[in-house]
Amino acid sequence: MGKQGRKRLVSYALFLAALFQCRFLAFAILDPLDFLALQLIRKSMNDLPGSSFFASWDFTSDPCNFTGVYCESDKVIALNLGDPRAGFPGLTGRLDTAIGKLSALTEFSLVPGRVFGSLPMSISRLENLRVLAITRNFISGDIPASLGRLRRLKTLDLSYNRLTGKIPRSIGTLPELTNVLLCHNNLSGSVPPFLSQALTRLDLKRNALTGSLPNSFSPSLQFLSLSWNQLTGPVDSVLSRLDQLSFLDLSFNRFTGPIPDRVFSFPLTNLHLQRNSFYGPVQPGDQVKISTVDLSHNMLSGRISPMFSTVQNLYLNHNRFTGQVPDSLVDRLLSASLQTLYLQHNFLTGIGINPTAEIPQSTSLCIQYNCMVPPVQTPCPLKFETQKTRPTSLCNEWKG
């Protein structure tokens, strides 16, 4: 072959190489491990009747074009299983352990459906994972302690499942956590310390948690819900430091001790401390700007503070409050600025309402079963409570 022939051959070879490279870039091939993992995940799940989420999952085409699959280069970086539109049928089946082979995954979510079985421990191998959200399914068993290896995790949402066992302490050590939602499960044991200085939302309501609260909640918390558990002990030292809270719900537990006055100055919209065993006086230092305050069904005592007159919905019923109802609360009630005022089942001795006064229809007042004859008759929430006034013997005994 002559010199010119060799040049033409080399040029042709370079042309073929360039053409191959262009085609490779245009039709990037998914990493084989990721491809296999998606196949196994698909085989382990199905659409519920009415769902067509997996309709696009045709493995003769590019998996990066599948619904819910997001790629970067040749790796899957996000996997969102199920139709995210509210009310749509979800998926059923089990979550395959192959999820742990998607090594570049940063986000994994599973919308409400009927996926059952345990949480695969292989998820703990996803070192880049930032969001893990598997909610409103039938996931059961323990939360793997190995999730503590996910040092970049920011959101952990396993709410509305059937998880049991303790909340692993290792989860509380994750340094970048901002949202933890484990509510509506069957978790037991104590609340572990959460050390992340970025944590803003902690929702553990509707479990079977016991013990007292740790003193290590981050002051960055804005939303804290621990209601409907079996938690005990005082909370004043814990709450006093959480001055960024906008929502606080500790209701339906067994907490004791005083309610710190400082909590009423927090930027809260809702404060729910009902159905506990809090005791002692409640004396906010300034006008309370919280929209809804529920301190009912405790053992709180002393006089009702006029600082509560700026609350829109105030529940102080079933306590041990004494004395006269502040006139400022009555004025706000009659002007319909205070929408709900429940004071029943206390030891109150008077309220400055003229018997001919008209209670606005938009408000709700209940003052029965106190140490006074109610000057006005208003509907109360519990129809079976027919006694209007507390027996004199009980009133005298409480004074004594």
Tokens of 57: 């999952």
Q: Cα–Cα distances in Å, from 18 out to 9, 11, 22, 27, 219?
A: 14, 11, 6, 14, 58
The percentage of residues in the chain with a pLDDT greater than 90, rounded to a whole number, is 82
Q: When comparing pLDDT for 101 and 8, which is higher?
A: 101
357 pLDDT tier (thresholds 50, 70, 90): confident
Give the residue among 369, 384, 256, 392 at the shortest CA–CA distance from 321. Answer: 369
Report the pLDDT averaged over residues 38-43: 98
> Are 339 and 312 a contacting pair, CB within 8 Å?
yes
pTM (global) more than 0.75? yes
Beta bridge partners of 186: 164
Q: Which domains does the chain have, with CATH numbers?
A: 257-399 (3.80.10.10)
Strand stretches in 25-88, DSSP E: 45-47, 69-72, 75-81
> Could you tell me which residues are beta bridge partners of residue 201?
179, 223
Long-range CB contact pairs, 169-178, < 8 A, 24+: 169/145, 169/193, 170/145, 170/146, 171/143, 171/145, 171/147, 172/196, 173/148, 174/148, 174/150, 175/151, 176/130, 176/151, 176/152, 177/153, 178/154
Q: Which residue has the higher pLDDT, 122 or 396?
A: 122
Mean of the per-residue pLDDT values of the chain:
91
Q: Could you report the per-residue pLDDT of 288-314, keeping only the tens digit for each? A: 999 999 999 999 999 999 999 999 999
pLDDT category at 24 given cuts 50, 70, 90 is: very low
Residue appearing with tokens 């029943």: 344
